Amino acid sequence: MPKIKTKRKKYPEGWEELEPKLDEFQQQMREDEITISAENEPHEGKRKVEVLWPIFRIHHQRSRYIYELFYKKDGISRELYEFCLNEGYADKNLIAKWKKIGYERLCCLRCIQTKDHNHSTCICRVPKDKLEEGNIVQCVQCGCKGCVGSRHESTVVATGQRQYIGFIVPVDFN
C-alpha cells in the first residue's frame, strides 16, 4: 500500500503521466477493501479466502504495470521506478522474482513459499500438462488459475552459445 501523499514530497519527473493510472488502482483497492471490511455481512457464497482475491489481483496488476513500463517499454526513468518501489506502489520482491527464469508470470510471493504448502509448491505453479484433465485448479491463497513460468525454447545463436527465449503471457486470474 502506498504511503500517504504529502505536498512536501518532491515527485520525480514523469510522475504526472504515471499518477492517474496508479490512482485508478488505488481507487479499485479502496473499493475492494470497503467490501472486505464489512466482515459481518454474508460473503455471498464465497469462502473466507476468496474475499481477499481481488486485493491480490489489483496488487499484482499495479506491480506488473510499473514493471512493464520500466523493463519492457522503457516508459519511465530509473529514478521514477525506484521512487515507486520505495513508496510502495509496486512490490519490489515480486518484481525481483519476475526477472528470474521460470517466475515471469508469478502471481504472488505466497505461492512460492513452502511453509504455506506443506513443503511443496502451490497448485497454480504446476504446469497444466502435469495436472489431471477436467479438473479446474485455482490457488487457495490468491485465486490464480496458473502462473507457472513460461516455456523456454533453446536456440543456438551464431556464436555457438545457447540462448533461452521465453514466452510471457499474463497471469490467468479468471
Q: What is the full per-residue pLDDT of the chain (174 aa) written as tens digits?
A: 566 666 667 888 888 888 889 889 888 888 876 666 544 455 667 777 777 888 888 888 999 999 999 988 888 899 999 999 998 899 999 999 888 888 888 888 888 877 776 667 777 777 777 777 777 777 877 888 777 765 543 333 343 443 333 333 445 555
This prediction has a pTM of 0.72
d(CA 110, CA 138): 14
d(CA 164, CA 154): 5
Report whether 68 contacts 41 (CB < 8 A): no
